[in-house]
Amino acid sequence: MNKICCIYNSGLHYRWAIFKALADNFDIDFCFGPDTAYTKSIKTFDYNQLPGFTRMLKNRRLFGKFYWQSGAVRQAFKPYRQYLMLGEAYCLSSWVILLLTKVMGKQTVCWTHGWYGRESGMKRRISKWFYSLFNQILTYNNYSRQLLIQGGISADKIRVIGNSLDSAKHREMRSGLSKTDIFTSHFGNSDPVLLYCGRIQQSKRLDLMITAATQLKQEGTPVNLVFVGKDSEDVGLDSLAAEAGITERVWMYGPCYDEGQLAELFYNSALCVSPGNVGLTAVHALSFGCPVVTHDNLPWQGPEFECIKPGVTGDFFRQNDADDLARVVKGWLHRTDAERSATAAAAFAEIDAHWNVESQIEIFKEVLINRI
Give per-residue pLDDT as tens, 305-356.
999 999 999 999 999 999 999 999 999 998 999 999 999 999 999 999 999 9
Helix/strand number for the chain, H first, E second: 14, 15
Look at residue 336 and tell me if it is in a domain.
yes
Regarding whether 184 and 318 lie in a shared domain, the answer is yes
> How high is the pLDDT of residue 177?
92
Regarding whether 117 and 198 lie in a shared domain, the answer is no
What is the spatial distance between Cα 223 and Cα 15, in angstroms, rounded to a whole number?
A: 33
Look at residue 45 and tell me if it is in a domain.
yes
Q: Any residues with CB less than 8 A from the CB of 337 and at least 6 apart, and which? A: none
Q: What is the DSSP letter of 13?
A: G
**Does the pLDDT at position 35 exceed 90?**
no
Look at residue 227 and tell me if it is in a domain.
yes
Regarding whether 338 and 209 lie in a shared domain, the answer is yes
Confidence of residue 369 (pLDDT cuts 50, 70, 90): confident
Over residues 126-173, the pLDDT tens digits come to: 999 999 999 999 999 999 999 999 999 999 999 999 999 999 999 999
What is the spatial distance between Cα 76 and Cα 281, in angstroms, rounded to a whole number?
A: 35
Number of domains in the chain: 2
With contact defined as beta carbons under 8 Å apart, do 32 and 10 qualify? Answer: yes
Confidence of residue 1 (pLDDT cuts 50, 70, 90): low
Regarding whether 188 and 158 lie in a shared domain, the answer is no
Look at residue 372 and tell me if it is in a domain.
no
Residue type, 361: I
Regarding whether 320 and 196 lie in a shared domain, the answer is yes
What is the spatial distance between Cα 243 and Cα 251, in angstroms, rounded to a whole number?
A: 15
Whether the pTM exceeds 0.85: the reply is yes
Regarding whether 132 and 221 lie in a shared domain, the answer is no
**Does the pLDDT at position 108 exceed 90?**
yes
Regarding whether 40 and 17 lie in a shared domain, the answer is yes
Regarding whether 179 and 150 lie in a shared domain, the answer is no
What is the spatial distance between Cα 355 and Cα 102, in angstroms, rounded to a whole number?
A: 32
Q: Give the range of the structural domain holding residue 93, as residue numbers without chain letter.
A: 3-164+356-367
Regarding whether 307 and 186 lie in a shared domain, the answer is yes
Helix (H) or strand (E) holding 38: helix 36-39
Q: Checking DSSP bridges between strand 136-139 and strand 28-32, what pairing results, if any?
A: unpaired
Regarding whether 95 and 186 lie in a shared domain, the answer is no
**Does the pLDDT at position 371 exceed 80?**
no
**What is the chain's alpha carbon radius of gyration, rounded to the nearest angstrom?**
22
For the CA atoms of 238, 242, 246, 251, the dihedral, rounded to the nearest 10 degrees, stands at: 20
Region of 370 on the Ramachandran plot (φ > 0 left; ψ -120 to 50 alpha; else beta): left
Regarding whether 143 and 232 lie in a shared domain, the answer is no
Look at residue 361 and tell me if it is in a domain.
yes
Percent of the chain with pLDDT over 90: 87
Q: Which CATH number is 68's domain given?
A: 3.40.50.2000
Q: Looking at residues 47-70, what average pLDDT do you find? A: 92
Look at residue 197 and tell me if it is in a domain.
yes
Is 179 exposed, middle or buried, given 0-12, 13-18 or 19+ CB atoms closer than 10 A?
exposed
